[in-house]
């Protein structure tokens, strides 16, 4: 089971490359500083310059201008906390936390929301918020080194004007399998745009890479995150930036402008299809099955039981569960594993590759017991 509250955060962020983090470094993170007026002015000019380039690469015209702001990481955290509290009722958060603790995915004294916020605020390089229709970047960095990040986020802002990111994610928030596939398209498209920009501007790509290597604040945050956050929390977010670009690149076959809109209109709907492009990018697509319970399923339970949560399960979900309970690393990742493209044990990956459909439902009894029924 993944922490699906992350899917309710209606934003798209670019996470800093894990390969930039040296595990043995001990550099402390500097104290956050407000952006100066000069830094804000330079960033505004840069965003205006890159707005036209992003439009040209994607082949879409801007319908309106999207403003950009600079925030410290402390301000990012405060903003995300406020948004989650707005979108996630306390009873929903309490329900998710109970399930996570009951399944042993986190110790009972560990707050999953705090872990999720720690991860996002320490690793994000910038984000676009479709609700506010605004681009946010992290203050205290040379804007010239962030050109690829800005292009990535501007692409999200541009596509939002055509496909309404918040509305699309709202429709899928109870279907995490399909949500993962959709987010892979979002991040795959943004990374495709970023890579095409870097191919045109190699000096900007080099400056970005060097900037990430010398960003001690981001490095310190990522080291802490990798040491404390279990994989089931991280993979649902981080894999969009690995799996998405790979899938989108294969699907587009070099024609970003001509094929991206069609991919959104008729794209993959499951984790399996994104994780294994060869099963989807053929005439005979490997279409998923759907698992549904009988109409009177809940009525067959003993008195006092009620449905707590009901959601789809995908291949990645199953792989994470198997790895968490059976793997040797207590559900943790390392930067070396991530850099090598390893996210679960070979045994968990092999077992999950047989997936074709899945559903899991959690039941509650008087607020004191939790049961589950799953079918894969």
| % pLDDT > 90, the chain | 23
First to last CA, the chain: 13
Alpha-carbon dihedral of residues 106, 111, 113, 118, nearest 10 degrees? -90
The string of pLDDT tens digits covering residues 45-98 is 999 999 999 999 999 999 999 988 888 888 888 888 888 877 778 888 888 889
DSSP state of 300: G
* Predicted local distance difference test score (pLDDT) of residue 1: 46
The residue ranking higher by pLDDT, 328 or 278, is: 278
The predicted model scores a pTM of 0.86
Q: Is the pLDDT of residue 11 over 60?
A: no
Query: Tens digit of pLDDT for each residue in 228-258?
Result: 777 777 766 677 888 899 999 999 999 999 9
- What is the DSSP secondary-structure string of 2-29? --GGGGGS--EEEEPPGGG--TT--PPP
**CA-CA distance, 349 to 351, in Å (whole number)?**
6
Q: Check pLDDT > 90 for residue 186.
A: yes
């Amino acid at each position: 089971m993944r922490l699906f509250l992350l899917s309710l955060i209606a934003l798209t962020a670019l996470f800093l490359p894990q390969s930039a983090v040296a595990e043995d470094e001990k550099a402390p993170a500097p104290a956050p500083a407000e952006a100066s007026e000069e830094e804000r002015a330079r960033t505004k000019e840069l965003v205006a310059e890159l707005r036209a380039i992003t439009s040209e690469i994607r082949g879409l015209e801007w319908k309106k201008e999207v403003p950009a702001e600079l925030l410290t990481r402390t301000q990012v955290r405060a903003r995300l906390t406020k948004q989650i509290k707005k979108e996630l009722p306390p009873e929903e958060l309490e329900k998710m936390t109970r399930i996570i603790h009951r399944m042993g995915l986190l110790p009972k004294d560990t707050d999953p929301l705090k872990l999720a916020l720690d991860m996002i605020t320490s690793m994000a390089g910038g984000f676009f918020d479709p609700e506010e229709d605004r681009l946010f970047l992290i203050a205290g960095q040379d804007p010239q080194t962030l050109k690829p990040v800005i292009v990535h986020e501007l692409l999200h802002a541009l596509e939002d004007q055509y496909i309404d990111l918040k509305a699309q994610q709202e429709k899928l928030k109870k279907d995490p399998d399909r949500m993962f596939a959709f987010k892979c398209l979002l991040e795959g498209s943004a990374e495709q745009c970023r890579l095409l920009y870097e191919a045109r501007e190699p000096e900007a790509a080099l400056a970005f890479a060097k900037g990430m290597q010398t960003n001690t604040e981001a490095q310190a945050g990522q080291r802490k995150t990798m040491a404390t956050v279990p994989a089931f929390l991280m993979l649902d977010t981080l894999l969009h930036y690995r799996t998405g670009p790979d899938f989108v690149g294969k699907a587009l076959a070099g024609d970003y402008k001509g094929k991206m809109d069609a991919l959104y209109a008729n794209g993959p709907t499951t984790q399996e299809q994104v994780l294994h492009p060869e099963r989807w990018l053929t005439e005979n697509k490997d279409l998923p099955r759907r698992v549904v319970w009988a109409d009177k399923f809940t009525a067959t339970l003993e008195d006092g039981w009620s449905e707590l949560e009901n959601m789809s399960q995908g291949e990645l979900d199953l792989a994470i569960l198997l790895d968490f309970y059976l793997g040797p690393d207590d559900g943790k990742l390392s930067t070396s594993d991530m850099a090598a493209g390893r996210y679960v044990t070979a045994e968990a990956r092999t077992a999950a590759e047989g997936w074709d459909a899945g559903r899991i439902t959690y039941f509650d009894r008087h607020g004191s017991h939790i049961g589950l029924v799953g079918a894969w």
